[in-house]
Structure 1
Amino acid sequence: MRANKYLYIVSLDDDVHFVIFNGLNKEFLILEEKALTSMMELINNPDTYASTHPKILQSLAASKFIVEEGFDERAILKEERDSFVHALEFKTTILPTFECNYNCWYCVQEHEPVVLDYTRFDLIMKHIKKYLLENTIHEYVLSWFGGEPLTQPKVIEYIAPKLISFCEEHKIDFSSGITTNGALLNIDNIKLLQKCKVDYYQIAIDGDEKTHNKNKQDSLSDSSFRLILNNIVNLLRINSDAKVTLRINYTLATLKSDTLVTDITRYIPKEYRNRILVDLQKVWQVKEQNVSILLLRKLQEKLVECGFELSIQHVFSMCYVEKEHYNMFYYTGGVEKCDKRPIGKLRGHLDANGDIIWSEKPIFEDYDLFDDKCICNSCRYYPLCYCGCPILREERIIENHGKIPCGHQGQYDLLEHRIKDYCWRVINNKKLKR
C-alpha cells in the first residue's frame, strides 16, 4: 500500500486543527497538530504498520487515503472527466433577452434592449429536437438565462411547452431551471414557470438588506431585498417541486455584516428554509486569497443555525461549458459556449436547417487535459481546479501556441483556501442534520 498522490495538508483554524484532504473523492480528516505527524507517518508508510494498526489502515484504505501499489489515480480522474464531458445529457441555455431590470456593479454584461424575432426561437427548437434524436440523448436539461429572462416570460411560454411535449413523445427525461434576480417572480410568473416545468431556481442577493438595496434599486418596491425574498417564499408555497439556490454574492465588506442573516430570516419563515440551498460566492473582482476564512466560517455557522443548508456543489467542479452536449442560444440566433463572450462577438449561428455554423469553432472541445501538452497531466492540484475556466484557458492556449497552460497560472494558494471553505461547509452541514 502507499499514499494517494492527491492528498493535501491544510491548516483549518490558526494551526490548531489541520485537514488531510483527499482530492480524488473530496473526503477529509481533521486532526490536531500533535496527531498530524503520526497520521502522516501511517499514510506514508502503511505496510510498516500493517500488524500494529490494522483498523486505522483499513479505514484509510476504504476512503482512498492509502491505495494499492498498482492503483492508477490518473485513470480515475480521466474516467471522471470523460463521464462528465460525454454524458448522454443535452443541456442548453437559452437567453431570451439581454435586457435586465437591474444594473449590478459587478455584472460583466452590456445590457441592451431587444427586438424579438420568433423565427429565431423556432430555429432554436428545431436544432434542439434534431440534436436530441441524432445523438440518442436520454436526458434534456433546459436552462433560462439572460440578462433577466423574466423580462420576456412570453418567450419561455412559447418555447418550453413545445420541448416538453417533444421529450414526452420520445421518452426523453426533461428538467428545467432558471437563473433570475427574482424581482419579477410574481404570482403570474411563478405559475407560468410551474406550467413550463421550471423547478430549479438560482436567485442572488448582494448582501444584507441595506447593501443589497444600494446595488439593486427597484421601481416595484422600496426594498428589492424584501421583494425578492418574499417572491421566493411565494414560489416555494405555490410550487411544491421548486428548489432554490440562494446565491449570496459577497464582497469582503459583506462578510463583516452583522445583519445579513437576520435580514434574510426576517423574510423567509423557518418552514421554507430546508428547501433553500445557500451558495456563498465571492464577486469576481475579489481575490479569493483575500477572503477571511474565519469570517466566512462564522457566516456559514449562522446560516446553518437558522436552518439553511450550504451548497458544496460548485466549490470543486468541472464547468458544464465543457460538456460535449451543451450549447448556449441567444435570442439573436447566435450560439456560444459561455456568456463571457460579448453578444457582438458570438462565434456561431443557426442556419435555416437549424444547424450550428461556427465562424470560429471553440477549441477546448478538441483537446485532452491528460495529454502531454497540458500541465494538468502531471499537476497534483488538478482535482481541485480541473484546469480552471475553459474560456480563459482557451484564450491562453492561443497565446501559448497550442500548449495548454495552468488555468490558475500557478496560484495554488487559492486552492488551499478553497479546501478550507469546502471543509467548513461540510462540517457545518453535519450540524444541521443532527
Structure 2
Amino acid sequence: MKPSHYNYILSKDSKSYWYNGVSHKFFTLPIELGDKIKPLICNPEILKESAPSFYQKLVDNEFIIEDNVDEIEVIRKRNLETIQSKDYFLVILPTLNCNYKCWYCIQNHIPSMMSQETITRVKKHIDYMIDERNITSLHIEWFGGEPFMYFKQVIAPISEYAIEKCDKAKIPFLNSATTNGYFLSSDKIKDLKRLKFSGFQITLDGDKGNHDKVKFQNGCDSAFVHTLGNIDKILSALKDMNIVLRINYTHKTLTNKIVSQINEYISPENRKQLTITPKKVWQESVDKNFQLSTISILDEFNDYGYNAARMEIVDNFVPCYANREYYNAINYNGGVVKCTACNDLYESNPPGQLQEDGKIEWKNNFDKLYQEKSYENPKCLNCKYLPVCMGICPRDHAKKRNYCKMDAQDSNIETSLIDFIEHCK
C-alpha cells in the first residue's frame, strides 16, 4: 500500500484538514493528532498496526491506495467517463438580445428571436438524441441574451415537447436557466412548475447602488429590488426550486453591505434555497489577498441562513462542461457552438449547424477539438492539484494557449479547501 499523490493535508489554528483530490473525501483532526499521523501515512503498514480503524478509513477514502494503482490512469479513465457520459446537457439561446446593457458583458446584444423553423429543428434534435443517440437524461439550460424575453414563444413550446418526449422514453428531464431575473414575475410561477424548472442562475452586480448603475430598465425604479422580489416570490411558491445568486464583483464593489441589502428582500424561510457565489468580472486583475474578504462575506451570508459556494474546484474530472461529447449550445438562428463565452455565437458561418433532420453538422471536426485533454502536458501531469483542476478551458486549449488556470483566480486552492471543509455540513 502507498499514500495517494493527491492527498492535501493542511493546517489552520487547532485543526488538521485532510482532503483527497481523486475521491473528494475529507475530514478534520485535532492538529496534534494530525501532525502525528501525517508522517505515518508514508508508512501504511506501521499505521495499520498502530491505528487499524483509522488506517481502514484512509483506505476506504482513497488516501491510501494499492501499490499497483496508477493514479494518472485513474484520472484519465474518470475524465473519459465524464466526457462520454450520455447525460445530455443542451444549452438553448432563444435570443442574443437583452433588456440590459451591462458594461462587462462579453456579448453583443443582437435583436433576434428563434424562428418557428429553428424551433422545429430543435425538437427534431431532441428526437434524434433520444431515439438514435440513446441519451440517458436531458438537461436543458436556457441562456442568452435574456432567454425569458421569449418565454411563451420559445421556452414554453420546446420545454413542453421535451417533457413529453422524455416521459415517453422514461428518462429524466431537467429544466434550468441563466437569467437576469427581470421577467420572472409571479404570473409565471405556475408555468415554471408545469415546465419542471428546478433551478436558475441569477446575477447581481454588487450592492444595490452598484447593481442599479449597471442594470437599469425604463419603468423600473430599481433592478436590484425588482429582481430580489421576483426571487423571493418564486422561492415561496416553489419549495423544490434552488437558485444560484451569482454576485459579479470588482475589488471595489464587493462589500459586506450587500448582505443586509439582500436580507431586506429575501424571507428567512427562503434563504436555504439560495446559494451565493461571488465571481470576479474577467476585466478585473487578480488579487490573491482579496479571498479573505470574500470568505468574510460568505461567512455572513451563512450566518443568515443562505448557502455559499466555497470552492472553485473541479469535482467531475473535466475542466468545463464544454469538454463533454454530450453537450451542445444551439443559438437562436440554428448555429451550434461549444462555448457561449466567445465570438462563435456571432459568426455568420458558425462552427456547427443544426440540420433539418435534427442532426448537427460540424465543420472540420470542430466538436472533437473540445474533447481534447488540456491536462496532457508535463506541467499538469506533475501537478499535485491535477484532479481538482484538470487543465485550462477547452476553448483556450483549442487555440493553443498555454497558462495555469490557478493563476487567473483570486482564490488560493489551499485556503479554499480549508474554507470548504470548515463550512461543509
Name the TM-score, length of structure 2 as normaliser: 0.88
Residue 309 (structure 1) shift: 1.5
Alignment of structure 1 residues 113-132 onto 2, 5 Å: 113-114=111-112, 116-132=114-130
Aligned twin of 2:346: 344
Separation in structure 1 between the aligned mates of residue 291 and residue 410 of structure 2, nearest angstrom: 13
Deviations for 1:27-63, whole angstroms, at most 9, x for unmatched residues?
3455687666533311223334443343443333333
| Residues 252 and 291, structure 1, Cα contact 8 Å, conserved in 2 | no
Separation in structure 2 between the aligned mates of residue 283 and residue 184 of structure 1, nearest angstrom: 24
Residue 417 (structure 1) aligned with residue 418 (structure 2): no
Aligned twin of 1:427: 422
Among residues 84, 88, 91, which one is paired with 1:90 in the alignment?
88
| Residues 205 and 247, structure 2, Cα contact 8 Å, conserved in 1 | yes
| Residues 177 and 199, structure 2, Cα contact 8 Å, conserved in 1 | yes
Alignment of structure 1 residues 42-191 onto 2, 5 Å: 42-114=40-112, 116-153=114-151, 154-191=153-190
Deviations for 1:129-181, whole angstroms, at most 9, x for unmatched residues?
11221111121111100011011112112221122122222222211101111
Q: Percent sequence identity over matched residues?
A: 30
Alignment of structure 1 residues 124-273 onto 2, 5 Å: 124-153=122-151, 154-255=153-254, 257-273=255-271
Separation in structure 2 between the aligned mates of residue 291 and residue 165 of structure 1, nearest angstrom: 50
Residue 354 (structure 1) aligned with residue 358 (structure 2): yes
Amino acid in structure 1 at the alignment position of 2:404: H
SS in 2 for 1:5: coil
Among residues 308, 311, 334, which one is paired with 1:310 in the alignment?
308
Name which of structure 1's ranges 62-71 and 322-331 shifts more when overlaid on structure 2.
Answer: 62-71
SS in 1 for 2:50: coil
Alignment of structure 1 residues 369-408 onto 2, 5 Å: 376-396=380-400, 408=404
Change beyond 3 A, Cα 1:385–1:289: farther
| Residues 289 and 417, structure 1, Cα contact 8 Å, conserved in 2 | no
| Residues 204 and 246, structure 1, Cα contact 8 Å, conserved in 2 | yes
| Residues 261 and 302, structure 1, Cα contact 8 Å, conserved in 2 | yes
Separation in structure 2 between the aligned mates of residue 374 and residue 133 of structure 1, nearest angstrom: 41
Residue 314 (structure 1) shift: 5.2
SS in 2 for 1:253: coil
Separation in structure 2 between the aligned mates of residue 62 and residue 72 of structure 1, nearest angstrom: 17
Change beyond 3 A, Cα 1:137–1:313: farther
Change beyond 3 A, Cα 1:101–1:95: same
| Residues 324 and 371, structure 2, Cα contact 8 Å, conserved in 1 | no
Name which of structure 1's ranges 30-39 and 277-286 shifts more when overlaid on structure 2.
Answer: 30-39
Separation in structure 2 between the aligned mates of residue 194 and residue 63 of structure 1, nearest angstrom: 39
Unpaired stretches in structure 2, ≥5 consecutive residues = none
Unpaired stretches in structure 1, ≥5 consecutive residues = 400-404
| Residues 90 and 132, structure 1, Cα contact 8 Å, conserved in 2 | no
| Residues 245 and 277, structure 2, Cα contact 8 Å, conserved in 1 | yes
Residue 4 (structure 1) aligned with residue 4 (structure 2): yes
Change beyond 3 A, Cα 1:46–1:102: same
Residue 425 (structure 1) shift: 3.3
| Residues 90 and 325, structure 1, Cα contact 8 Å, conserved in 2 | yes
Residue 305 (structure 1) shift: 0.7
Report the aligned-residue RMSD. Answer: 2.7
Name which of structure 1's ranges 57-66 and 386-395 shifts more when overlaid on structure 2.
Answer: 57-66
Name which of structure 1's ranges 68-77 and 412-421 shifts more when overlaid on structure 2.
Answer: 412-421
| Residues 90 and 140, structure 2, Cα contact 8 Å, conserved in 1 | yes
Amino acid in structure 1 at the alignment position of 2:397: R
Amino acid in structure 2 at the alignment position of 1:424: D
| Residues 288 and 417, structure 1, Cα contact 8 Å, conserved in 2 | no
SS in 1 for 2:399: helix
Change beyond 3 A, Cα 1:220–1:81: farther
Residue 86 (structure 1) shift: 1.4
Separation in structure 2 between the aligned mates of residue 388 and residue 36 of structure 1, nearest angstrom: 33
SS in 2 for 1:160: helix
